[in-house]
Structure 1
Amino acid sequence: MNTAEATPQTAPSATRHSSSEGADAIPTVTPEDARYPDMIRGHGNNRHVASPEAIRLPSTTEHVVQIVREAVRDGKRIALRSGGHCFENLVFNDESEIIVDMRMMDKVGFDADRGAFLVEPGATLLKIYEQLHMGWGVTLPGGGCYATGAGGHFSGGGYGILSRRHGVLSDHLYAVEVVTVDERGEVRVVVATRDPEDPDHDLAWAVAGGGGGNFGVVTRFWMRSRDAEGAPGDLLPKAPATVFSTFAAWSWDEISEEAFANFMSAYADWSKAHGGLDSPYLDLGHWIFLQHAEKGTFNVVAQMDSTVPNARQLVEDFIAFAIDALGVQPRMNSISEKPFLKATAQTMTAGETITSPSLRTSHKSTYMKEAFPAHQIETIYHYLTKTENPNPYSFMVINSVRGMISALPDDATAATHRDALWLVYFESYWHNEEDDRRNVEWLRAFYRELYADTGGVPVPNGVTDGCYINYPDNDLSDPSFNTSGLSSQELYYKDNYPRLQRVKKAYDPTDFFRHPQSIELPE
C-alpha cells in the first residue's frame, strides 16, 4: 500500500478549511491578511515574533510536499510550527521566510493497516489525551501543557506525570512520515519505522528525541508501545481509571536554609531509593514546585494511579516524608481522587498566568544525576528567597524521572538522558515587553551562578547531565554565557550527537531544514 495515502480510522477531527482558490488550494496568510498578526508569534513565548512572507497551512502530506517543493525552487527559508509552544526563536525569527503551520493537520486515530495509533503533528496534547482515552482507553506519557503540539513535543522526547511508569513519550514512537529534501533538491516522502531491518530505521531513531525541524517535515507519527500486540486498546499504555491528585504547600517564611538543604538531600536519597522498577512508587509522578518567595510557596505536587495496591497510603507516606524532611507542617495539604482525564485536564489548564497566550517567558533546564552539591543548594535558596524577583511567576521545578525511562539504554533512541535522577526546569513568566530585560537577566544570573564551576552550564559529568531539547535555550549557543567548550547540541544530545549528524547528512544533506539550534551537518 502507499502509506502516504493510508486512511486511518480517526476520532472526530477539526474541519478542513481551504481558501477560495479551490478545494485543493493551500490556505496562505500574507502580511495584508487580518490573520497575520496572530500567526507570527507562538503560544509559549511572545518575546519572539517573525515577519515571514507567508504562512502556509497544509492539511495533507501532499500539501506539505507542494510547499517544500516551492520553497526549494524559490530558495526560501522555511520554519515549522505545530502548536507554537516553542520557548525560543527556533520558529519565529528574522530568517523565517515561509512558516509552515501544521495546525490543520490534527488527526488522532487508529491506523488498522499499520496496527498503530496515528497522530498528526498539529494535534495538541489535550486533544490527543482526550481522543485516545475516550476512543480506546489508552494514553501517552507526555507533557502537561494543553496547547503543546505533537510535532515538536513528540520529536523532542516528551516527559510527563506518567513517565516513571511508561517512559518518555517518544519511546512509544513506532513509525514516522517525513517530507525530506535530497542533495539534488528533490522532495520525497519517507516512512521510517523503529524496525531494525527497516533501511530508514535511523530516521525513526533520530526523530524519537532528536528535536523538531532537523531532518524534514514530520507529517504523521504512528504510536505503539514496544513489544505491544493485540487489539488497539493493548497497544499503548492503559489510562488509569482514577488517580489521587496531591498538593501540599509550605510558606517560605517557615523554611530555613538549613531545613531546605536537609530536604534537598533527603529528597535525593528518596529519589534514588525509589527510582527502580521494583519501587512501590513507580506509579507516583511528582514535582517539587519552588516558586519565588516574594509571592510564592514551596509546593509538592503528585499524582498516582488509585488502583495501585495501597495507593492512598503510599501518597500519604510520601507527603509525610516531605513534612519530616522540612521539619514543618504545610499550610495546605490535600489528596483527592479524580477520574484520570478530569485530573489531566485540570492540571493542563490550571492557572491563567502560566497558560495565557499573551505570555513572555524565559526557560532553562538541567538534568541532574546526583543531588545538588552544598554550594548549589545555597545558590538556589538565595535566588528563591533573598534576591529581588522581577515577578511572582518565577519557578524552579524538579521533575521526577527514572523508572521506565531508565529501562532503555542511552542510545535506544535519540532521547539520551536515561539515568538522570531529576529533570529540572527554571522558568519565568510575565506579560509586558518593558519587563523583558530584568526577567531574563534574573534567570540568567541564577543559572550562571548555579553552574559557575562548569562554564555556566550543566555539562555532562557525575553530577549534571546536560539539557532538555524541548526547553531550548539560546544562551547555550552563546559563548558569553556558555564557556564550557561544549556546544548546545552536545548538551542536548551528548554521545548521540554524532549519529544524529549522520542522519542529518543522509536525509537533509543540503541543510535545508534548520533553525538557530538545529543539528549541524558533520564536517
Structure 2
Amino acid sequence: MSGIDRRRMLGNSAAVVGGIAAASVLVEPASAAPAAKGPAAKGAKVAPTDPRYPLLTTGNNQRFVARPDYVALIRSSADAEQALRTAYRDGKRVSVRSGGHCFADFVCNPEIEVILDFSEMTDVGYDPGFRAFYVEPGARLMNVYEALYKGWGVTVPGGICYSVGAGGHIAGGGYGLLSRAHGLVTDHLYAVEVVVVDDRGRVRTVVATREEDDPNRDLWWAHTGGGGGNFGLVTRYWFRSPGATGSEPADQLVSPPSKVLVSALDFSWDQLTETRFARLLKNFGAWHEQHSSPDSEYRHLSSLFNVSSKAHGSIGMFTQVDADRPNARKLLDDYNRAITAGTGIKPKALTRATGELPPMPQLAEPKEMPWLQATRLVGTNNPTITNPTSRGAHKSAYMRKNFTDQQIAALYKHMSRPDFDNPDTMLVLFSFGGQVNALAPDATANAQRSSVFKMCFQTFWEDESEDDFYLGWVRDLYEEFFARTGGVPVIGDSTDGCYINYPDRDLSDPRHNRSGVPWQTLYYKENYPRLQQVKRRWDPSDFFRHSLSIKPAKG
C-alpha cells in the first residue's frame, strides 16, 4: 500500500470508541465490506441453562469438553471488542473458536471460562480499497471456495475438509491440493484484522498488512503460520496474491484450474505382504523426493494417500492434476505407475470411504471434471473425518526425504497388529513441496519450506473407555517411527518438525518427546523467538493462551 493509500485509510476510518477501557481504536480500509447491521451485529450469550450450551462447549473431537460460564457468539468486530472487554474486566480465561475442528484442547478444556465463538461471522467478498478478497473467520472452507470461485473465478489453496473454519486454518498456514502449484494459503494473505488487548485492559481493533512500511506488519506476519488463539481475535482476513496488478478483482488472487483430471485407486491389504507394503510407500516417498522443487513439471499434480490400518481392508489414493496442462494425462499415468512400480499390486476401484477419502468408484479410470466439482466430491462426503460424535488422536510430521526401512517396519507392525481392529485409523500422506518450497523459511511464520510430503497419523473411536488403548497405540507407533530422533521428527536432513494445525500436546511432554528439542522448535523452528516478540507487543499479559501457545518474550 502506498503512503497516500495508508493516509486515506487512516483518515477515513480511524475512530475512537469509548468503553470500559481508556480507548479503543478501530482501523479499517476505507472501502471495507459493510459491517453487520441491526440485530445481526451482536451475537447471543449462551449460558449453561441454554439448550444450545451442550453443542457449543465441545467441537469436532469429543475428547475435549469445556464447562464455561458462557459462550459468546460473535457477529462483528464491535461485538468482539465488547466481548473481549467484558471477559478481561471480569478476569475470565477465554478461548477462541472459528470452526471447531481443533485437534487438541485449545478451545475446550476445564480451565476455560468463556468461549468466544466466531462461527457466525461467515462473510466472503471483495474489498476494492485493498484490492483484496476478505474472508471472515467463521466461514467454512467449502463456502469460501464456492464464494470466491463463483463470484470471481479465484480461490485460495486451502484444505479438502469442507467444514473446517477459515479462522484457524489460515492462522496455522493452510494447505491443500493446490498448494504445490500455488503455495500455502498464507502465502496469499494480504492483511488481517485483529482485536487485541494490552496489559491494562485497553481493547482496540488493528488492521495489519504485509506492506513493508506498515507499522503493524509484525502482526500480519504472525498470522501467516503462527497458529490460532495466540495474539488476539481475528475478525477478518484479506487475500491478494503477491505480484497481483491492475484493479480487476479476478486478477488479484490465483485462479484454480477450470478442469482437473482425477483418479482414485484402492490397494487391497489382501495383496500386501510386508515387502510389497514397503515398496508401495517407498515409491511414494521417492517420487515426491524427486519431483518437489518449486519449478517441477509435476507441481500441478497433488496426491492424498491414505495408508489405512489392515482392519480397514485397503489403502486409498486420490490424485489430481490440472487438466489444462498439455500433458496432464501423461503426468497422471506416469505418477500412478511410479507408485505401484515393482509391487505386483493391481489397483482396484475405491468403493468405500478410506481415511480422508470418500468412495469414488467412478474414478478407477482417470476422469476430467470441473475443479469445484472435484473439490466438492473429495471434501463433502467422508463420515470418518467429519463425524461430530467421534474421539480422535492426531500426530504430524514434515518429511524432507523418503522413509527409512526402520520407519516402514514400524508402520507395518502397528497397522497390522492382530489386536487392532479399528478401521478408522490411517497415516495420511499429503503431497507437498512445489511452490510451498519457493519461499524462505522466515518469509512467513510457517517455517517448513523444504519438505516433500507431509504426514498425519490419526485414529478415531467412539467410547471414552477406549481412550487409553487408542492413545497408547498412536503414541507407540509415532515414537517407534521416530525412534532414532527421540520419538519426534526433529529438524534435520530427513524430517522438518510438525504442523501447528495438527497440534499434539505430547510434544511438550518429555515422556513422549525424548529428543531434547522443545515443542516450540518442532512447530516453528527458528521463527519462534520472532513470534515471541510479536506476542510481547500485542498480547503482553498473555491473555490469549492455551496448552501450546506462544509465550511473550521476556523484557
Q: What TM-score range do you get, normalising by the shorter chain?
A: over 0.9
Question: Cα RMSD (Å) of the superposition?
Answer: 1.7
**How far 1:390 sits from its partner (Å)?**
4.5
505, 511, 526: which is aligned to 1:480? Answer: 511
**How far 1:514 sits from its partner (Å)?**
0.5
Code of the residue aligned with 1:104 in structure 2: it is: E
Deviations 1:450-489 (A, max 9, x none): 1122221111111111110000011111222112222222
Normalising by structure 2, we get a TM-score of 0.90
Aligned to 1:432: 463
Aligned to 1:173: 189
111, 115, 123: which is aligned to 2:139? Answer: 123
Code of the residue aligned with 2:62 in structure 1: it is: N
What does residue range 222-301 of structure 1 map to in structure 2 within 5 Å? 222-230=238-246, 231-301=248-318
Alpha-carbon distance between aligned partners in 2 of 1:24 and 1:492, rounded to the nearest angstrom: 36
1:142 lines up with 2:161 in the alignment:
no
Change (3 A) 1:83 1:490: same
Change (3 A) 1:293 1:25: closer
Does 251-260 or 99-108 show the bigger shift? 251-260
393, 412, 431: which is aligned to 1:400? Answer: 431
Code of the residue aligned with 2:106 in structure 1: it is: L
- Please tell me whether the aligned partners of residues 156 and 185 of structure 2 are also in contact (alpha carbons under 8 angstroms): yes
Change (3 A) 1:74 1:6: farther
432, 442, 450: which is aligned to 2:473? Answer: 442
Aligned to 2:396: 365
Aligned to 2:89: 73
Aligned to 2:409: 378
**How far 1:521 sits from its partner (Å)?**
1.7
194, 197, 201: which is aligned to 1:185? Answer: 201
1:350 lines up with 2:366 in the alignment:
no
Deviations 1:432-454 (A, max 9, x none): 32332222211111111111222
Alpha-carbon distance between aligned partners in 2 of 1:17 and 1:86, rounded to the nearest angstrom: 31
- Please tell me whether the aligned partners of residues 535 and 551 of structure 2 are also in contact (alpha carbons under 8 angstroms): yes
341, 360, 373: which is aligned to 2:372? Answer: 341
- Please tell me whether the aligned partners of residues 361 and 428 of structure 1 are also in contact (alpha carbons under 8 angstroms): yes
Q: Report the secondary structure of 1:278's partner residue.
A: coil
1:503 lines up with 2:520 in the alignment:
no
**How far 1:94 sits from its partner (Å)?**
1.0
**How far 1:353 sits from its partner (Å)?**
2.4
Alpha-carbon distance between aligned partners in 1 of 2:217 and 2:173, rounded to the nearest angstrom: 17
Alpha-carbon distance between aligned partners in 2 of 1:61 and 1:70, rounded to the nearest angstrom: 14
Alpha-carbon distance between aligned partners in 2 of 1:16 and 1:359, rounded to the nearest angstrom: 37
Alpha-carbon distance between aligned partners in 2 of 1:9 and 1:182, rounded to the nearest angstrom: 27
Q: Report the secondary structure of 2:366's partner residue.
A: strand
Aligned to 1:452: 483
1:515 lines up with 2:543 in the alignment:
no
Q: Report the secondary structure of 2:266's partner residue.
A: strand
**How far 1:377 sits from its partner (Å)?**
1.2
**How far 1:24 sits from its partner (Å)?**
5.6
1:409 lines up with 2:440 in the alignment:
yes
Alpha-carbon distance between aligned partners in 2 of 1:287 and 1:5, rounded to the nearest angstrom: 39
Alpha-carbon distance between aligned partners in 2 of 1:68 and 1:327, rounded to the nearest angstrom: 60
- Please tell me whether the aligned partners of residues 288 and 398 of structure 1 are also in contact (alpha carbons under 8 angstroms): yes
Alpha-carbon distance between aligned partners in 2 of 1:445 and 1:257, rounded to the nearest angstrom: 19
- Please tell me whether the aligned partners of residues 262 and 319 of structure 2 are also in contact (alpha carbons under 8 angstroms): yes
- Please tell me whether the aligned partners of residues 194 and 235 of structure 2 are also in contact (alpha carbons under 8 angstroms): yes
**How far 1:64 sits from its partner (Å)?**
0.5
Alpha-carbon distance between aligned partners in 2 of 1:441 and 1:16, rounded to the nearest angstrom: 50
- Please tell me whether the aligned partners of residues 243 and 303 of structure 1 are also in contact (alpha carbons under 8 angstroms): yes
Alpha-carbon distance between aligned partners in 2 of 1:248 and 1:17, rounded to the nearest angstrom: 51
98, 115, 121: which is aligned to 2:114? Answer: 98
**How far 1:25 sits from its partner (Å)?**
4.6
Does 117-126 or 486-495 show the bigger shift? 486-495
**How far 1:8 sits from its partner (Å)?**
4.2
Q: Report the secondary structure of 1:334's partner residue.
A: coil
Alpha-carbon distance between aligned partners in 2 of 1:396 and 1:388, rounded to the nearest angstrom: 18
Code of the residue aligned with 1:485 in structure 2: it is: G
**How far 1:375 sits from its partner (Å)?**
0.9
Aligned to 2:231: 215
Normalising by structure 1, we get a TM-score of 0.95
**How far 1:5 sits from its partner (Å)?**
7.4
Aligned to 1:197: 213
Alpha-carbon distance between aligned partners in 1 of 2:204 and 2:383, rounded to the nearest angstrom: 43
- Please tell me whether the aligned partners of residues 156 and 212 of structure 1 are also in contact (alpha carbons under 8 angstroms): yes
Alpha-carbon distance between aligned partners in 2 of 1:439 and 1:266, rounded to the nearest angstrom: 29
Change (3 A) 1:277 1:378: same
Unaligned ranges ≥5, structure 2? 1-11, 14-26, 350-363
Deviations 1:327-352 (A, max 9, x none): 22112333222211111011111222
Q: Report the secondary structure of 2:284's partner residue.
A: helix
**How far 1:222 sits from its partner (Å)?**
0.4
What does residue range 4-15 of structure 1 map to in structure 2 within 5 Å? 4=28, 8=32
- Please tell me whether the aligned partners of residues 261 and 321 of structure 2 are also in contact (alpha carbons under 8 angstroms): yes
Unaligned ranges ≥5, structure 1? none
Q: Report the secondary structure of 2:448's partner residue.
A: coil
- Please tell me whether the aligned partners of residues 41 and 75 of structure 2 are also in contact (alpha carbons under 8 angstroms): no
**How far 1:354 sits from its partner (Å)?**
2.2
Does 396-405 or 429-438 show the bigger shift? 429-438
- Please tell me whether the aligned partners of residues 246 and 336 of structure 1 are also in contact (alpha carbons under 8 angstroms): yes
Code of the residue aligned with 2:160 in structure 1: it is: G
- Please tell me whether the aligned partners of residues 16 and 104 of structure 1 are also in contact (alpha carbons under 8 angstroms): no
Code of the residue aligned with 1:456 in structure 2: it is: G
